[in-house]
A and B are shown apart, each in its own frame.
Chain A
Amino acid sequence: MSKHHIQVTINGKLHEAEVESRLLLVHFLRENLNMTGTHIGCDTTSCGACTVQLNGKPVKSCAVLAVQADGMEVKTVEGLATNGKLHPIQEGLHEKHGLQCGFCTPGMMMTTSALLQQNPHPTEDEIRHAISGNLCRCTGYMNIVKAVQYAADKMAEGG
């Protein structure tokens, strides 16, 4: 067993820790840092519930080692709202009823907020393609797509 000293910037704040090689990023977030907004769903890289952004790109944190994130920036759902103001995608999901049980929602938001960063005006096809690695068992996706469109419009207005 080997231990590693890591420095990871999470939602803009630097965290230092001694971690085992085998510690997964999702467990580092949830158990070491008590940031439980990132969910564990399938545990097998299939469902996308554990999606976080690593250096701006959505990744499944159940298939990344914490030690791999050393020196990198991680963004989680806890970092989406700024100064108490919801991110447009959070607002969109609320306005458009884009969640029911909410389990997939944090991962869904980390994927779609990254999409909007990269592509501010995605088509419906592009939205559906982007979220195809995030499973939702409640909504049928219709209202999630609407929420992303709402967020795109809102961000275009500068909101």
Chain B
Amino acid sequence: MIPPSFDYIAPQTLSEAVAALGQYENSKVLAGGQSLIPVMRFRLASPSVLVDINRIDGLAYINEDNGWLKIGAMTRESMLEHSALVHDKYPLLADVARVISDPIVRNMGTVGGNLANADPGNDQPATMLAYGAEIVAHGPDGERVIPIISFFLGLYESALAPNEILTEVRIPTAKPRSGGAYLKLERKVGDFATAAVATQVELDAKGNFASVGIGLTNVGLTAIKATAAEDFLKGKASTDDNIRQAAKLAADAAQPVADVRGSEDYKRSVVRTYTLRALRLAVQRAKGG
């Protein structure tokens, strides 16, 4: 399978790339290409021009700055996986970095691409919903910041304008007594999730939930923020009973469809069980375990 013909440009700067997206009809950003190139080969997408942003310097980084952990859009998923900072302080991100597709794909696949593609089966969207992240995008008028909750509009549809490029995702820096986890059920390494759950919690000095983020992967048209479950836990003690209640609410928030990976009921059940386990793990990690 060979993609249909297209033109290709590889600008050296962000402003050239943004200009190119505005200039060419039906143009598309090429980041890691691990979804885009296969869908072009299947002829599910036929952009006329690919704007390759791999040659733009300065878009791959992971650093803490001014209250945020900032991740450059072109950071390869494997960079996250091997980052000591992520490993030590951001357990949810460390978890997700080990289960996105497979290790070889992660050498090309980027954090920015995983988000910008707005595929509900991708793992970063639910992760970033749980973290309460912000997206930084560059367009012809400069930079704008998009809260993650307003970023995913539909299946493969994000808040990015056609001539905007996602350049950074940032999450609040790790606080004391915080922790997270990502649990994914997959039929095999490299498959999309049957269902997966991202959790991020912060406990107060008494062990009550100060903040809770829960994101669900591949059980709806977009990644889903399980707000009823989050709201239920806020201010409550981090007991197993409360976590079980929240897991049920998260399962209610899922909107799965039956496919080769399972029935609706099965997937909802996976969401409940994985929310339970991921919350337990997040609490354990928040307590330093």
A→B interface (CB under 8 Å) = 1-2, 4, 20-22, 24, 27, 43-46, 48, 51, 54, 57-60, 62-65, 67-68, 70, 111, 129-130, 132-134
- The reply to whether A57 and B107 contact each other, CB–CB distance below 8 Å, is yes
- The reply to whether A51 and B2 contact each other, CB–CB distance below 8 Å, is no
Whether a CB of chain A sits under 8 angstroms from the CB of B255 is no
Bound together, the chains give a CA A20 to CA B47 distance in angstroms of 15
- The reply to whether B189 and A132 contact each other, CB–CB distance below 8 Å, is yes
- The reply to whether A21 and B104 contact each other, CB–CB distance below 8 Å, is no
Assess A4 versus B8: contact at CB under 8 Å? Given A45-B34, A63-B34, A64-B37.
yes
* A59 / chain B contacts, CB cutoff of 8 Å: 104, 107-108
**Contact residue among A1, A44, A65, A111 (Cβ-Cβ distance under 8 Å from B104):** A111
Bound together, the chains give a CA A133 to CA B109 distance in angstroms of 13
Bound together, the chains give a CA A43 to CA B2 distance in angstroms of 10
Assess A132 versus B103: contact at CB under 8 Å? Given A1-B5, A4-B8, A21-B6.
yes
Bound together, the chains give a CA A92 to CA B2 distance in angstroms of 35
**Contact residue among B1, B3, B7, B104 (Cβ-Cβ distance under 8 Å from A48):** B104
**Contact residue among A22, A46, A67, A68 (Cβ-Cβ distance under 8 Å from B190):** A46
- The reply to whether B41 and A67 contact each other, CB–CB distance below 8 Å, is no
Q: How many residues of B contact A (CB 8 A)?
A: 30
What 1/0 flags go to B93-111 for Cβ under 8 Å of A?
0000010011111011000
Whether a CB of chain A sits under 8 angstroms from the CB of B264 is no
Interface contact tally, CB-CB below 8 A: 87
B→A interface (CB under 8 Å) = 1-8, 10, 30, 33-34, 37-38, 40-41, 50, 52, 54, 78, 98, 101-105, 107-108, 189-190
Bound together, the chains give a CA A59 to CA B104 distance in angstroms of 5
Nearest to A47 among chain B residues (CB) is B190
- The reply to whether A45 and B38 contact each other, CB–CB distance below 8 Å, is yes
Bound together, the chains give a CA A70 to CA B55 distance in angstroms of 11
- The reply to whether A43 and B8 contact each other, CB–CB distance below 8 Å, is no
- The reply to whether A2 and B189 contact each other, CB–CB distance below 8 Å, is no
* B189 / chain A contacts, CB cutoff of 8 Å: 132-133
- The reply to whether B33 and A22 contact each other, CB–CB distance below 8 Å, is no
- Closest Cβ of chain A to B272, distance in Å, is 27
* A70 / chain B contacts, CB cutoff of 8 Å: 10
- The reply to whether A58 and B3 contact each other, CB–CB distance below 8 Å, is no
- Closest Cβ of chain B to A124, distance in Å, is 15
* B105 / chain A contacts, CB cutoff of 8 Å: 45, 60, 63, 133
- The reply to whether A63 and B33 contact each other, CB–CB distance below 8 Å, is yes
Nearest to A44 among chain B residues (CB) is B38
- The reply to whether A65 and B33 contact each other, CB–CB distance below 8 Å, is yes
5 nearest A-B pairs in the assembled complex, by CB-CB distance: A133-B102, A21-B8, A133-B104, A132-B189, A1-B5
* B33 / chain A contacts, CB cutoff of 8 Å: 63-65, 68
